[in-house]
Amino acid sequence: GENVEQHPSTLSVQEGDSAVIKCTYSDSASNYFPWYKQELGKRPQLIIDIRSNVGEKKDQRIAVTLNKTAKHFSLHITETQPEDSAVYFCAASKSGGYNKLIFGAGTRLAVHP
């Protein structure tokens, strides 16, 4: 079945620095790749997603890149702020009906002022 690996498990940066989280997926048929942010005690919330017909997508300080050949996708956060501190999850699924999202293990990002 589909497997999603995520690295690093923890990431500590200084405010203003960039943060990069990387994921790899196993099922080449996967074509939908969302990223979720989960703050302590809260629900996972979608922050950005990308589909396999696109190589890069950007939304203000957040960008996601996808390399279908290598089955890699990455989340890039620029100019990090303390409020970016949270656990970030990548996920992958095949569209065509039902989103069986398979999640990575999560990255705990800490942004220090």
Partner 1 sequence: DTAVSQTPKYLVTQMGNDKSIKCEQNLGHDTMYWYKQDSKKFLKIMFSYNNKELIINETVPNRFSPKSPDKAHLNLHINSLELGDSAVYFCASSQEGNTIYFGEGSWLTVV
Which positions lie near partner 1, rule CB under 8 A? Answer: 32, 34, 38, 42-46, 49, 87, 89, 93, 95-103, 105-106
- Dihedral of CA atoms 75, 76, 77, 83 in degrees, nearest 10, equals 20
Q: How far is the CB of 16 from partner 1 (least distance, A)?
A: 27
Which residue type is seen at 69? T
Q: Which residues of 21-31 are buried (b: 16+ CB within 10 A; e: fewer)?
A: bbbbbeeeebb
- Which residue, 62 or 78, has its beta carbon nearer to partner 1? 62
Q: How many CB atoms lie within 10 A of CB 71?
A: 16
Q: How far is the CB of 106 from partner 1 (least distance, A)?
A: 5
Q: How far is the CB of 90 from partner 1 (least distance, A)?
A: 11
Q: How far is the CB of 4 from partner 1 (least distance, A)?
A: 10
Q: Which residues of 41-58 are buried (b: 16+ CB within 10 A; e: fewer)?
A: eeebeebbebebeeeeee
- Which residue, 61 or 100, has its beta carbon nearer to partner 1? 100
- Which residue, 77 or 87, has its beta carbon nearer to partner 1? 87
